[in-house]
């Protein structure tokens, strides 16, 4: 068994891990002398040792890396990360602790986000006025396994060069591990492609939402007036999306992912929202796309984000593809083809809409300036559009909030046209 620990690394150490050889760099001097209390075991047999924190036990998932420098609590509670182990490339994670306000999953219960977290530096005690507990305590309460003290740069290179890989993350305070059993478990995990994970995160019943965005010194507010009714189909929706809709005087009604078109339309919506979510959109599409196509026929304005964007692309006749490393971070430049504006956005997706598959009645509206992949579409024969990125995550900080304004403008225009 070999380790990846903090300290000076040779360049070929990272290269060996990136090549997926099943080997990792050797012991690094000067960081710690205690035995490993956490392991990351990759499906190719690579074993990485570190110091555990957060929940004890084992968790499985697809390893991805996120380049964001802040917002780790929102990331770890984003339902889109279900079935994934998040590696943060920024070395110092946990400095601001955790609180009860920054959870993004609709349900406040544990188990609706990432299954594991990997960081470089040891997690320190929090130093922030909003903190109510340390990251370690918060992870324990939510059942999220943590591992620190490894070369996250090398692990990110491995994912970048070889793609996201399944793994088991394990934490035991006594350092007792059955490594061979963990290797077998990691090797037997199913690929993310083909998995419908939405049933694990969608709401079980209708939710009426009126909370608005957080304001310094005031906290979250409540919508006073509702001029529009929006039905949000929940594939794993984030709270801040709902807040920004409510902020724009929308009565927001959240329905389960299994809601039929008849159930949606029975609420007489002025607009329909398709949310973000986890897993392979092509798998969820088996029951979601027929509903979306029926909703499109109703000509009610429709807006989708991330997973919802992919489902709209599928409903419009396109296809989705699994990406090698995905996009996970808060520093992604995306160009709005409609305006020519470049915005800095938050991304979190391992699948993408294949632009070459889009039919003539669909135009591309947004493009990633990192790799040229599709980041937005609009239908030319229906009042429907979607984006791949997360405008509500505010990394710009508000570069993409105009998309919510665009949605309500379309709603108002269609309402006026109907008299």
Instruction: Please spell the DSSP secondary structure of 187-214, one letter per residue.
Output: HTPPPSTT---GGGTS-SS-EEE-EEEE
Burial of 313 (0-12, 13-18, 19+ CB in 10 A): buried
- pLDDT over threshold 80, residue 369: yes
Rounded Cα distance between 38 and 47, Å, is 10
Pick the more confident residue, 6 or 413: 413
Write the DSSP symbol of residue 314. Answer: H
Rounded Cα distance between 13 and 18, Å, is 9
Question: Considering 104, 306, 327, 401, which one is annotated as catalytic?
Answer: 306
Does 284 share its domain with 152?
A: no
Q: Which domain holds residue 105?
A: 11-187
Write the DSSP symbol of residue 47. Answer: E
Q: What is the number of structural domains in the chain?
A: 2
E-strand spans in 13-56? 38-42, 47-54
CA–centroid distance for 15 within its chain: 28
283 within domain boundaries: yes
The candidate with the shortest Cα–Cα distance to 320, out of 355, 352, 356, is 352
Judge whether 392 counts as a catalytic residue.
yes
Rounded Cα distance between 395 and 390, Å, is 9
Does 244 share its domain with 178?
A: no
Rounded Cα distance between 307 and 235, Å, is 8
The pair of three-digit structure tokens given for residue 6, joined into one six-digit string: 């903090």
Does 23 share its domain with 115?
A: yes
By residue count, the chain amounts to: 419
Q: What is the mean pLDDT of residues 176-193?
A: 98
| pLDDT value, residue 373 | 98
- Give the residue from 126, 157, 187 where a domain finishes: 187
294 within domain boundaries: yes
Question: Considering 171, 332, 390, 401, which one is annotated as catalytic?
Answer: 390
Judge whether 161 counts as a catalytic residue.
no
Residue 256 is part of a domain; what is its CATH number? 3.40.50.880
Write the DSSP symbol of residue 316. Answer: T
Summarised one tens digit per residue, pLDDT across range 373-417 is 999 999 999 999 999 999 999 887 888 999 999 999 999 999 999
1 within domain boundaries: no
Give pTM, 2 decimals. Answer: 0.93
Does 211 share its domain with 104?
A: no
Strands 84-88 and 207-209, by their bridges, are unpaired
- Give the residue from 187, 214, 231 where a domain finishes: 187
Rounded Cα distance between 308 and 236, Å, is 10
Does 170 share its domain with 225?
A: no
Judge whether 306 counts as a catalytic residue.
yes
Percent of the chain whose predicted confidence (pLDDT) is above 70: 92
Does 267 share its domain with 337?
A: yes
5 within domain boundaries: no
pLDDT-wise least confident of 166-180, 261-275, 386-400: 386-400
192 within domain boundaries: no
- Cα dihedral 74, 346, 307, 262 sign: positive
| pLDDT value, residue 33 | 56
Q: Are 138 and 34 in contact (CB under 8 A)?
A: no
CA geometry: angle 339, 348, 90, nearest 5 deg:
105
Residue 38 is part of a domain; what is its CATH number? 3.50.30.20
Question: Considering 62, 74, 104, 392, which one is annotated as catalytic?
Answer: 392
- Give the residue from 187, 208, 235 where a domain finishes: 187
Does 177 share its domain with 285?
A: no
């Amino acid at each position: 068994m070999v380790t990846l620990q903090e300290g000076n690394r040779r360049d070929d150490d990272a290269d060996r891990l990136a090549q997926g050889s099943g080997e990792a760099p050797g012991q690094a001097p000067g960081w710690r002398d205690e035995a490993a209390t956490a392991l990351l075991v990759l499906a190719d047999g690579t074993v990485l040792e570190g110091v555990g924190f957060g929940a004890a036990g084992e968790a499985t998932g697809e390893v991805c890396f996120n380049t964001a420098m802040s917002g780790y609590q929102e990331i770890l509670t984003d339902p889109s990360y279900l079935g994934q182990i998040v590696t943060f490339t920024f070395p110092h994670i946990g400095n601001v602790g955790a609180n009860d306000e920054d959870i993004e999953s609709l349900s406040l219960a544990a188990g609706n986000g990432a299954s594991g977290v990997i960081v470089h530096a040891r997690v320190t005690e929090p130093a922030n006025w909003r903190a109510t507990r340390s990251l370690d305590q918060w992870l324990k309460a939510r059942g999220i396994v943590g591992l620190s003290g490894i070369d996250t740069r090398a692990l990110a290179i491995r994912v970048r060069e070889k793609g996201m890989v399944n793994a088991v993350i394990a934490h035991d305070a006594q350092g007792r591990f059955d490594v061979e059993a963990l290797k077998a478990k990691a090797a037997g995990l199913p690929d993310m492609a083909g998995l419908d994970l939405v049933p694990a995160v969608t709401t079980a019943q209708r939710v009426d939402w009126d909370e608005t965005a957080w304001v310094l010194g005031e906290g979250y507010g409540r919508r006073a007036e509702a001029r529009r009714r929006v039905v949000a189909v929940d594939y794993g929706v984030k709270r801040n999306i709902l807040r920004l809709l409510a902020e724009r005087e929308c009565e927001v009604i959240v329905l389960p992912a299994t809601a039929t078109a008849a159930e949606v339309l029975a609420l007489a919506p002025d607009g329909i929202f398709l949310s973000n979510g986890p897993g392979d959109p092509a798998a969820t599409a088996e029951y979601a796309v027929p509903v979306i196509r029926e909703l499109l026929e109703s000509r009610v304005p429709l807006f989708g984000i991330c997973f919802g964007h992919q489902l709209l692309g599928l409903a419009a006749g396109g296809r989705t593809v699994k990406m090698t490393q995905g996009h996970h971070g808060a520093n992604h430049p995306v160009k709005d083809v409609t305006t020519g504006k470049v915005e800095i956005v938050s991304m979190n997706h391992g699948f993408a809409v294949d632009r070459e598959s889009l039919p003539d009645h669909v135009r591309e509206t947004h493009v990633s300036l990192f790799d040229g992949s599709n980041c937005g579409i609009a239908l030319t024969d229906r009042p429907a559009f979607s984006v791949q990125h997360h405008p509500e995550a505010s990394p710009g900080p508000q570069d993409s909030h105009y998309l919510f304004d665009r949605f309500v403008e379309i709603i108002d225009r269609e309402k006026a046209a109907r008299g």
